[in-house]
Chains A and B, each alone.
Chain A
Amino acid sequence: MVYYYPESMENLIQQLTRLPGIGPKTAQRLAFHLLSTNEVDAFGLAQAIATVRKKVKRCAVCANLTDEEICPVCRDNNRDRQLLCVVEQPKDVLMMEKTREYRGLYHVLHGAISPMEGVGPNQLTVGLLLERLKQGEITEVVMVTNPNVEGEATALYLASQIKPMGIKVTRIAHGVPVGGDLEYADEATLAKAYAGRNEL
């Protein structure tokens, strides 16, 4: 009989292969590492995954990830509560926070409009955003979607929905490398971009 890995091992390798950026070879290496490393570390990782999945959910107000009903940013009364920054992903919130330039609130879309991937406004948290804006506290929305065509289309679409409410809509434009991801923009360029945002 040909030798295979034990079924549980095969299963782990399969699961790891499904993670982004991990090929079969890396998956195998990781699986062996998890087997040979000490138990505390391995179970610690398993526990961390289980906990994060159970506890972390979307904030009822801004849709950012949180382990409470409403995230600390949304509850923070020292922020400028008239200013809202719309981003694609939770990681973009971190990017903006690092600029130390921005002191308003956030809204996380969890993606961008992309017909080719079947993503329209309904697949994003657009409804939640529009409801939130109707409450009238927010006076300016800053679009910080990625500087690629999908991010651009998302910003343009949202602007067309928000402007009729009498809310100012701006888009950061300068400094961020065109066609790139926000991730590649360093904090200084992003801060500059924020300062020089354009009205949409």
Chain B
Amino acid sequence: MAIKYLLLRQFRNYLEEKIEWHPDLNIICGANAQGKSNLVEALCYISCGSSYREAKDQEMLGFGQDFFYLEGLVEKGSLKRTLSVGFGADKKKLWRLDGQPQKKLSQILGVWHTVLFSPEDLQLVKSGPANRRRFLNREMLQLYPEYYLSLNQYQQALSQRNELLRQSRNFGIDKELLRAWDDNLTTLAADIFKKRQKVIARLSPLADQLHRQITQSEETLNLGYESFLPEEKIAAMSQAEIKAAMLAELETKRREEMARGLTLVGPHRDDLLININGFAARQFGSQGQQRTAALALKLAEVELVFEETGFWPGLLLDDVMSELDTKRQKQVLELMVGKVQTFITHTNPEIKLVCGRKFLVESGKVRPLKGA
């Protein structure tokens, strides 16, 4: 699967630009603040409908403009699909697939999968659990659009329940009302626990294998799910059993929850465990090990998309290459280029090009550079 071209109109600092991409490797060079990340953001946006920098649609409007428009041609084997999105200052957004308006984002997700890798992702292992949950969620949303519904509803139910707990500090608890929210929340939670556990179980062997290739060692990398129940139990239990277990756990935490006005059990408190040779990489890994593990995890995401969809996703590396030593850089290229259409940003236009195409970005203008 590859994107043939991307057209940007009034998106960030791009006025009107159409870029023809190489099917294997694209290196986007340019000095700072010229628009390299903006270009990656546009690729990411047309793929998954949101900015990886968590920017609002409004912020991506070119300064002083009243709409932006992105269009891409995606090739899946012999199938060609045109994907486009327009966003107006009136906050109206229109997606089209092959010219036909699409109402639901879920019809867009998966037309062209991408996996994005930014410097923050290199911190994935050593940063806080919130980042790892975000990683999990983002990845799962792209692969399983229906996860969006579960997650959205869970978050809504969680906010409502927290608000009820806060109010009960002042007005006393309505036990039956709280029970209704418990019932609601745990049903949604059980679904998320199950889905996450399944994905982590699939990601783990992929990450392990890539990690061995990258480190060329026998170090094992293993992923786990940390929740209020042991992972094996989540795997073995039915959703109804998990729900019952969570209800019981909430019961034991009731007093503390009321005191703090917070829900203390659930997917919003869980973590993705990353172990090297059986030890938590977050606490015991060296910085080098942590970064390598993060790299393996990201590349495993690429493999998982292939396993799930039968197509290789695009790989977007924003400012990541310069963060890796030359050995790791070479390994990434060797592992990915040829099977995965890769996009790399780099500040040095002199960077060597083995294959593919090189572009120079200057103030929102893109032009191809001569190779090598």
Interface pair B167/A115, CB less than 8 Å apart: yes
Interface pair A121/B177, CB less than 8 Å apart: yes
Interface pair B152/A156, CB less than 8 Å apart: no
**B157 contact set on A, CB distance < 8 A:** 149, 152-153
What class of interface size applies to chain B in its complex with A?
Answer: 20 to 34
A interface majority secondary structure: helix
Q: Which residues of B in the span 284-300 have a Cβ within 8 Å of any Cβ on A? A: none
Q: Which residues of A in the span 112-128 have a Cβ within 8 Å of any Cβ on B? A: 113-116, 120-121
B interface majority secondary structure: helix
**A157 contact set on B, CB distance < 8 A:** 176-177, 179-180
User: When the two chains form the complex, which single residue of A114, A149, A154 contacts B153, counting CB atoms closer than 8 Å?
Assistant: A149
Known: A115-B167, A116-B163, A120-B177. Contact between A149 and B184, CB under 8 A? yes
**B180 contact set on A, CB distance < 8 A:** 113, 153-154, 156-157, 160
Known: A178-B149, A179-B149. Contact between A120 and B156, CB under 8 A? no
For residue B163, give the distance in angstroms from its CB to the closest CB of chain A.
4
Q: Which residues of A in the span 130-160 have a Cβ within 8 Å of any Cβ on B? A: 148-150, 152-154, 156-157, 160
Alpha-carbon distance between A13 and B51 when the two chains are bound, in angstroms: 38
Q: Mark B147-183, 1 if CB is under 8 A from A, else 0.
A: 0010011001101110110010000001011011101
For residue B166, give the distance in angstroms from its CB to the closest CB of chain A.
8
What class of interface size applies to chain A in its complex with B?
Answer: 10 to 19
Q: Mark B178-197, 1 if CB is under 8 A from A, else 0.
A: 01110110001000000000
For residue B156, give the distance in angstroms from its CB to the closest CB of chain A.
5
For residue B183, give the distance in angstroms from its CB to the closest CB of chain A.
5
Interface pair B160/A115, CB less than 8 Å apart: yes
Closest to B156 in A: A149
A15 interfacial by beta-carbon distance below 8 Å? no
Known: A113-B177, A157-B177. Contact between A150 and B152, CB under 8 A? no
**A198 contact set on B, CB distance < 8 A:** none
User: When the two chains form the complex, which single residue of A116, A148, A154, A160 contacts B176, counting CB atoms closer than 8 Å?
Assistant: A160
For residue B10, give the distance in angstroms from its CB to the closest CB of chain A.
23
Alpha-carbon distance between A116 and B156 when the two chains are bound, in angstroms: 10
Alpha-carbon distance between A161 and B152 when the two chains are bound, in angstroms: 28
Interface pair B160/A148, CB less than 8 Å apart: no
Q: Supply 13 further A-B pairs (C-beta < 8 A) apart from A153-B181, A157-B176, A179-B149.
A: A115-B160, A115-B163, A115-B164, A116-B163, A120-B177, A150-B160, A153-B183, A156-B179, A156-B183, A156-B184, A160-B180, A178-B149, A179-B153
23 contacts between A and B (CB under 8 A): A113-B180, A114-B160, A115-B163, A116-B159, A120-B174, A120-B177, A148-B153, A149-B153, A149-B156, A152-B157, A152-B184, A153-B183, A154-B180, A156-B179, A156-B183, A156-B184, A157-B177, A157-B180, A160-B176, A160-B179, A160-B180, A161-B176, A178-B153
Interface on B for A, CB 8 Å cutoff?
149, 152-153, 156-157, 159-161, 163-164, 167, 174, 176-177, 179-181, 183-184, 188
